[in-house]
Structure 1
Amino acid sequence: MMTHPVVAAVDGSPESLAAAAWAGAEAQLRAAPLRLLTVWQPPMSSARFTSSHERLRSWEENRMREAADALAARRPGLDVTIEQAAGTPIRLLLDAGAGAEMIVLGSRGLGGTAGFFYGSVGLHLLASCERPVVLVRATDTTGCTVDRGGADGAGAAGGRPAPCVVLGLDLGRSCGPVLSFAFEEAAARRGALRVVHVWNVHQRYGYGAPALDAAAARELHAEQQQALTALLDPWRARHPGVDVTADVVDGPVAGRLVEAAHGAHLLVVGRRSRHAAAATHIGPVTHGVVHHAATPVAVVPHT
């Protein structure tokens, strides 16, 4: 059976090279090929350039080839291919993502509107791609395999391994693909999975609702914890090797997920599927997480 590739979009920037490095580690974990893809668009004006368009295209191709050679040298056995395609960027990336395990993009620093993700192409891809999209900061170039009991697996309270993967879960949504992706990622890394459901009483009952007394708040919190545990039980049974913790926390959803992901190798969130290629809406929680999380973020579409 043919293994689908991990695709990394490369434009020569430090952010995209970090994405390629992360994608290489991910492909190796999955025993999948890595495909480096760049979209060639000739400059709108050649007034500033002494080189011809063909020389510029060749220069971009050589940079991508150098990145591929460096990844292959760092990860022996990794199957790396490169492709330089001409056309409409969003269409080419959507087509590449459709046949991939995931597509990986670089994302520039926190805040503001800077970065690949906040460009129109990246935003459309994240909102429209029917496969997981992973955003990687320039400072993160690892895919991080975690061995239980090793240095990366220590540090959690009670001697439990620190979470390798953090999953932000909405109990009110259909979340099978998101759960499947998060468990597979944790299993591939031989790491722990922390599942977090953020219960925001104001979001559920409105800011005008009467303040809950302590007993009522504890009861509602316990109900949410029980629902989360029941949802995860069959997934635990399918992945007995994954050490799973499940927490219900209160507060603003995106902020709590960013806090929970601190120190983890990957944060996984869901995004409702939309089939229009021009879609740009990803939801406020997903928007907040990808905008502020320092760790790589995987956005998984679901129905």
Structure 2
Amino acid sequence: MSNRITVGLDGSGVGSAAADWAAEEAELRGAALELVHAEDWAQYGPFAVPLPEPRPQWAEDLLSLTRDRLLREHRTLDITTRTTKGLAASKVLASSAADADLLVLGSRGLGAVAGFIVGSTGSATIPETDTPVVLVHSTDGEDRPLGHADNAGAVVLGVDLRSNCDRLLAFACEEADRRGCPLVVVHGWSLPPVFSYAPALDPGVEKEMAEGLETTLRELLSPWERKYPQLAVDARIVIGQPAIQILDVASGAALVVVGRRIRRPALGARIGPITHAVMHHATSPVAIVAHD
């Protein structure tokens, strides 16, 4: 890795919020910050509405003004800018962040009920890259993110005990450690349909299965607790739909971390339903970490 955070800018308020969050994160990490504007040729056909100035100049001004603003608030930060072009902005952004530690993108909020619009570029970029992607949300008309890198809340990690969680745990532990905040690890579960009758016949079945999952989770976390002895880890096995349980725990979190399995299917990669739900409805910044 290059000890660099890349953030995508599109001239919107949420893009500005993403840049603010990324700058704070870069300071926490002691990393450089790269501001990227990805021009998507496919969006600008012969009938596109013209900008008040030529697009290359508009992009250059966007990057320059954002860099100047961030340097006023983060004077020691190493900030570079880059404009890239391609047939799809998602592929351009993924390529730009290929050797970065983190890719940060903005996501527009629609309120507590409606959730968030990640946007076609953001949704398409996430499956294109193995670099962790952070989605930063803000409400309509506001340029400030709803969560900041120095937020006092916990880092919340959603795990699937059937998957390889090492990369997610490494990312979440490092984020919680550098913030000096607790790490809350959540696994949501329900009884398999074949056991749906069991609690009525034996109330101890559900308890026994929950205790087994708790043991598995504690064993999973044990080496990470030894590696980060100063880190307060709260492990929770909760009954219910995983995405809903993660979102419930994540209210007020500094960062929410979820996983995306790396798949190379013929029809292209995709985002799993739990991660999809969390990234559209969490109000805190959401990190999507690709894993095996």
Instruction: Tell me the TM-score normalized by structure 1.
Output: 0.85
Shift of 1:92: 1.5
Q: Secondary structure at the match of 1:241?
A: coil
Question: Structure 1 residues 99, 241: CA separation in 2 closer, same or farther (over 3 Å shift)?
Answer: same
Name the SS of the counterpart of 1:124 in structure 2: helix
Which residue number in structure 1 is paired with residue 20 of structure 2?
A: 21
2:86 matches 1:87: yes
The answer to whether 1:269 aligns with 2:270 is: no
Deviation sequence 1:277-302 (CA, Å, 0-9, x none): 97352111011111111111101000
Distance 1:17 1:260, change over 3 A: same
RMSD over aligned CA atoms reads: 2.3
Task: Look up the SS of the partner of 1:37 in the other structure.
Answer: strand
Aligned counterparts of 2:270 and 2:115: Cα–Cα separation in 1: 16
The equivalent residue for 1:247 is: 236
Which AA in structure 1 matches 2:63?
A: M
Counterpart position of 1:124: 124
Provide the C-alpha distance between the structure 2 equivalents of 1:114 and 1:171, rounded to a whole number of angstroms.
28
C-alpha displacement of 1:44: 1.6
Whether 1:210 aligns to 2:167 is no
Q: Distance in 2 between matches of 1:68 and 1:58?
A: 15
Q: Secondary structure at the match of 2:283?
A: coil
User: Given that residues 123 and 280 in structure 1 are in contact (C-alpha distance below 8 angstroms), is that contact kept between their aligned partners in structure 2?
Assistant: no
The one-letter code sitting in structure 1 at the alignment partner of 2:78 is: D
In structure 2, the partner of 1:191 is 181
Alpha-carbon distance change, 279 to 19 in structure 1, aligned in 2, over 3 angstroms: farther
- Structure 2 stretches of 5 or more lacking a match? 140-144
Q: Specify the alignment match of 2:38 in structure 1.
A: 39
1:240 positional shift = 1.3
TM superposition shift of 1:208: 7.2
What's the CA shift string for 1:179-227, capped at 9, x where partnerless?
00000000111111011111222xxx12773142432211111111111
Q: CA deviation at 1:113?
A: 9.6
Structure 1 residue runs of 4 or more that deviate by more than 6 Å after TM superposition: 111-114
Alignment correspondent of 1:167: 157
Identity among equivalent positions (%) equals 36
Distance (Å, rounded) in 2 between the aligned partners of 1:276 and 1:99? 23
SS at match of 2:80: strand
Q: How far apart are 1:56 and its partner, in Å?
A: 2.8
User: Structure 1 residues 242 and 173, CA, compared in 2 at 3 Å: closer, same or farther?
Assistant: same
Distance of 1:280 and 1:15 partners within structure 2: 26
1:102-113 superposed matches below 5 A:
102-110=102-110
Shift of 1:90: 2.4
Confirm or deny: 8 A CA contact 1:124 1:278 kept in the other structure. Answer: no
Matched residues, number: 280
Given residue 203 of structure 2, which amino acid in structure 1 is its aligned partner?
Answer: A
Residue 82 of structure 1 aligns with an amino acid whose one-letter code is: T
| Partner of residue 148, structure 2 | 143
Q: Is the 8 A contact 1:108 1:138 kept in 2?
A: yes
Tell me if structure 1 keeps the 8 A contact 2:158–2:258: yes
- In structure 1, the partner of 2:142 is none
Which blocks of at least 5 consecutive residues in structure 1 are unaligned? 147-151, 153-162
TM-score, normalisation: structure 2: 0.88
Pairing partner for 1:181 from 163, 171, 175: 171
Shift in Å, 1:99: 0.7
CA offset digits 1:72-131 (Å, max 9, x no partner): 11112111111111223222111122111010110112476973x331x32221122111
1:16–1:138 contact (8 Å) kept in structure 2: no
